[in-house]
Chain A
């Protein structure tokens, strides 16, 4: 397969402008004649659906929650980046571009990232106009903070609830279009298959989660904004419902899946407390600005932290990375936490935790200042752990947080299936092998507000669309398959619950395809995942019926897909014989224990084609070229 990334040629600064000029336009009078399906109403989906509605297309938008306002995007805390340079500290589009390419460990496309940095400024304007209450200075100007170790203050935020406020802005824009009659919103509906007719995406199969009814929906183009797949690990910071089903089923219909092994582990989450644990709670990264991370110097030191004298503490990040200290990027901070715990120096009952200590900062700045900066986070920590972080250091441990991999898309955000566009975390595009803080919100909104509306229009203007209906043989067979899978899941009536399988799968993936990976471990994991999947299909139990609201059935379908995706993740991680960003292969590290890239052999996007049941997937490579930012070894020493 020839992967045509449609990357523009010529100077990168004008590339997006030029592309926009070359894109075909749909005559305003004809827009109403085109229909578009948008699956997902998180930041990416809601912003796309609202904007396409404003332009005059007929949009049908789906989500599995009871309302678009509940999408996982709501939980983002820290903020959103934009190259506004409002703080006059030397930021620019070029600098944001540079930081993002470097932060992604040189595994993203330069042209995409440059466009993202350019659009970042429009996003802030749009959100302010919608009434998003970003933090302000007394004089009324927007304020910023520095985030995730960036050297400039370019992060815009709304207290600790930036994702919530941005999503509500997009949701309100969407509801405005619902009221205007351009968008029909279908909540509590789960997409279970993609309908491809004559090689083009023309519709979806949906299960109504209240009535169980399986229906088909058709349009001239389909956009997926269905989020990431972090829940393959069972325990993650993602919302419980986040899943890979939409993108996985599209993959099985022919869309290539890119870089599945690139997953991000966030260093500051509340550690696991017991087997009943259902999810992990993120403590914002901003805490690392003032907190100091340490573990006892001696193995198995179980004294309470206040009894451990200064000389017997190891501030390991400050020791190993004197210039960045506690502010090293997420992948580096996470790996170091794991290695001190593996040495037996972890804290807490489980030994899987490190201290994040604010006592110095409180001494220096006073409790009042710390309360002002992090009050709501400290409250949340105390609510969950019953410990007072003003007095006792927090305990934190890394957790899965974000997935950089996703469906392969070209510069137009179109997948390898014509007419299927993918936006937000669901695509693989802009973050390479590691995402910088506050850049997922930026990417989701950039895709949805400012890119897909043009590129989808171009696709519509360039093609003719025959009438299609549920009578079409492809549509009928897709519906039939969905019904069969549902019936099969309900009929097994085995002994184990869906969650028990999901937990076991999650442990395997975390162990072997998590923070650090080896060839041997990955091969073993793939084998064990296959065996567990077989057990799932013969021993799972799903009570109830398919004709009403059945949460076990919903979960079962999602976990079935996670099994297949997990295997592909291991395969992808196995073939990438290098370490880059979040993908750390123990065999490939520098003498100091840092990730060792191999640009000569691995400077490519790995895009996998589904092979069919029982067949291996096929790897396609899209080479990456760097003309502006020259690949170098990341160093935070």
Chain B
């Protein structure tokens, strides 16, 4: 089949960027979206042009590296599918696909389809863990965790941190991402001691990173390749509210953003 790919090209953060149209012949239905870009890139390189930069690694839908908008939808038309697992058989001969990077103030474009998602790491660094140093652990079976609770925690923990939720949200909110980690850890007995602190700090960091507010639209969960349920946002709001009542003194401290991350491209 033949497709036209209308792709966002942008040399770097300072460049304005714009769309370029590329016809691609010989698209096989078995190919993945990324393999289709590979084929296009090979032909660009052979012509001495720079290939389209896009992020990818596992190509199995688990590392969360890949992701871009196809026709305005994060990760394209198939539910619960990242672009690396999206096969071309879902498109029709002659179709034009508009491909562009995640758009969010907190995710600046680095090049073409690649954006900087380090804000997510800083949200985790602010409190997305259980403070247990190596060697401190009791026996694995010391604290029973009922199957239902373990399953709910796992549902939330399945997040791959790709950023589709932010890209799909009209407010560019990171509530689904942040809520998923808070829910995963706060639901488990091991996470209880730091429950309040975690909610306060992670929400504080999320706000400091310039993500928008959640207004319960639900676009995030609709595009989420791991179908993280909206429930996690409710858990986050509940825990944050509770914590801000009991731990008022920490609210101020929580707003100081995490440092210690190499500023990479900006240094």
Contact = CB atoms under 8 A, between A and B. Distances in A.
B188 interface: yes
Contacts of A433: none
Interface stretch (A94-102, A181-189, A339-347, A511-519): A181-189
A380 B62 CA distance: 12
Interface in B123-148: 124-141, 143-147
Given A67-B161, A549-B110, A74 B134 contact: no
A164 B139 contact: no
A274 B28 contact: yes
Nearest to A54: B133
B260 A497 contact: no
B262 A136 contact: no
**Residue of B39, B48, B57, B114 most packed against chain A (CB within 10 A):** B57
Given A279-B59, A497-B45, A208 B134 contact: no
A139 B141 CA distance: 11
17 contacts: A72-B58, A75-B62, A126-B135, A126-B137, A129-B137, A131-B188, A136-B146, A161-B62, A165-B154, A165-B157, A175-B128, A186-B262, A186-B264, A274-B31, A278-B38, A499-B42, A552-B50
Contact of A541 (B48, B124, B126, B130): B48
Contact of B150 (A136, A500, A549): A136
Interface string B62-100: 111100000000000010010001010100000000000
A399 interface: no
Given A179-B126, A274-B30, A386-B30, 11 more contacts: A75-B62, A125-B138, A125-B140, A126-B132, A175-B128, A185-B260, A185-B261, A188-B265, A276-B35, A383-B78, A549-B110
B228 to A, nearest CB: 13
Contacts of A543: 44-45, 48-51
Nearest to A124: B140
A211 interface: yes
A178 B258 contact: yes
Interface residues of B, number: 87
B129 A74 contact: no
B121 interface: yes
B249 interface: no
Given A67-B117, A449-B134, A239 B125 contact: no
A171 B31 contact: no
A135 B153 CA distance: 11
B12 interface: yes
Interface in B191-212: 191
A86 B134 CA distance: 22
Interface string A125-168: 11111110111111111100000000000000011010011001
A483 B31 CA distance: 37
A474 interface: no
Contacts of A548: 11-12, 111
A72 B58 CA distance: 7
A383 B57 contact: no
Interface in A537-552: 541, 543-544, 548-552
B185 interface: yes
B85 A185 contact: no
Given A133-B154, A551-B51, A278 B144 contact: no
Given A70-B64, A165-B157, A551 B53 contact: yes
A384 interface: yes
Contacts of B121: 67-69, 175, 178, 185, 187
B15 to A, nearest CB: 10
Contacts of B51: 543, 551-552
B25 interface: no
A588 interface: no
Contacts of B9: none
Nearest to A542: B45
A552 B262 CA distance: 24
A66 B154 contact: no
A173 interface: yes
Contacts of A172: 124, 128-130
Nearest to A449: B134
A125 B124 CA distance: 22
A571 to B, nearest CB: 30
Contacts of B120: 67
Contacts of A239: 57-59, 63
A184 B125 CA distance: 12
Contact of B138 (A129, A135, A386): A129
A186 B265 CA distance: 11
A173 B140 contact: no
B2 interface: no
Contacts of A130: 129-130, 132, 190
A342 B89 CA distance: 31
A122 B137 contact: yes
B81 A142 contact: no
Contacts of B34: 278
A74 B48 contact: no
A176 interface: yes
Contacts of A72: 57-58, 63
B85 A541 contact: no
A316 to B, nearest CB: 27
B62 A131 contact: no
B92 to A, nearest CB: 16
Nearest to A186: B262
B6 interface: no
Given A136-B147, A383-B85, A131 B185 contact: yes
Nearest to A51: B134
Given A186-B264, A552-B51, A128 B134 contact: no
Given A176-B129, A276-B39, A278-B34, A211 B190 contact: no
A367 B136 CA distance: 43
A281 interface: yes
A208 B145 CA distance: 43
B64 A187 contact: no
A164 B162 CA distance: 14
B90 to A, nearest CB: 10
Interface in B1-59: 11-12, 28-32, 34-36, 38-39, 42, 44-46, 48-51, 53, 55-59
Contacts of A136: 144-147, 150
Contact of B260 (A122, A179, A281): A179
